[in-house]
Chain A
């Protein structure tokens, strides 16, 4: 049962344009969402997160949007840079104090110079 889904295995975007990565979840008990970025041969690194009480969180070029009614979140990267090429994982957690993360399958983002 895949509770967190990233339906696009890969995405290619021109440098300087906007990258939009999508994530859907099925478990309404999830209340905290995170995006991790992973380069080859490295572990995932935390990128940005959002609590279910918000619908948007911004950090520099990265913005995460949450639509609770649709059980959907998205990560926007503007402008996209070659160093953004990586695999992006969406993750979700049920409640504070229970840190168990459920990860999606990842989206490989390629930024084309």
Chain B
């Protein structure tokens, strides 16, 4: 079974630029999560999707961050405009169904904002 795929793996941009990350969850997994992991901290949930609907986006900075999962499969996370403090690893995870405890993580996208 293929794991969670993410691209790009690395991205360097200047502040005020825009950036987008892509995630393809494990086939058949209905629930998808985006996390932000700042250096020295644990992952922090940004948004959770169940199929193509948002379940929880309470910690998503909506003035600059947006995410979508239009067809209930892959997802994109966008930052516009980026700030220096957005430098982090952005992790995508998925589970087969809501309520399943084990989240499977992708390798992450490392973002550096200069």
Contact = CB atoms under 8 A, between A and B. Distances in A.
Contact of A99 (B4, B42, B44, B100): B100
Interface string A15-52: 00000000000000000101010000111111001000
Given A46-B102, A96-B99, A97-B99, A103 B48 contact: no
Given A97-B98, A99-B31, A99-B98, A46 B103 contact: yes
Contacts, number: 57
Interface string B1-21: 000100001000000000000
Contacts of B31: 99
A34 B101 contact: yes
Interface string A89-113: 1010100110111111110000000
Contacts of A32: 101
Band of interface residues on B: 20 to 34
Contacts of B4: 43
A105 B105 CA distance: 17
Contacts of A106: 42
Band of interface residues on A: 20 to 34
Contacts of A103: 42-44
B107 A42 contact: yes
Interface of B: 4, 9, 31, 33, 40-45, 48, 56, 91, 93, 95, 98-108
